[in-house]
Amino acid sequence: MAEPKPLNWTHLSTLIAVTILVGTELVGASWAAGWALGGLFQLDSSISRILEAVFALIGFVGLFFFMRTAIAHEPIRG
């Protein structure tokens, strides 16, 4: 069985930093978009909250795909 390659701490710290930065921007902006649409169309509070949650979920999905691509270009091991 092959030994796993050691962690590249520089790449790992870069990926953690970019996850925090992009995650905050992406999820925050998508959550705010749900809030803004709820207010713009004067939706009921519960419907507005559901819309916020759906948009936040879309933001998390976007972050997942972004990080998957980032890890492919900046491998943690090796």
pLDDT tens digits, 17-68: 999 999 999 999 999 999 999 999 999 999 999 999 999 999 999 999 999 9
d(C-alpha 56, C-alpha 48), whole Å: 12
d(C-alpha 38, C-alpha 32), whole Å: 10
In a domain, 78, yes or no: no
Classify residue 44 by its DSSP letter. Answer: -
In a domain, 1, yes or no: no
Q: Does the pLDDT at position 1 exceed 80? A: no
In a domain, 2, yes or no: no
How many separate domains does the chain show?
1
In a domain, 25, yes or no: yes
| pLDDT band at residue 3 under the 50/70/90 scheme | confident
In a domain, 44, yes or no: yes
**Residue for token digits 């809030």?**
35
Structure pTM? 0.86
Structure tokens at 38: 């709820």
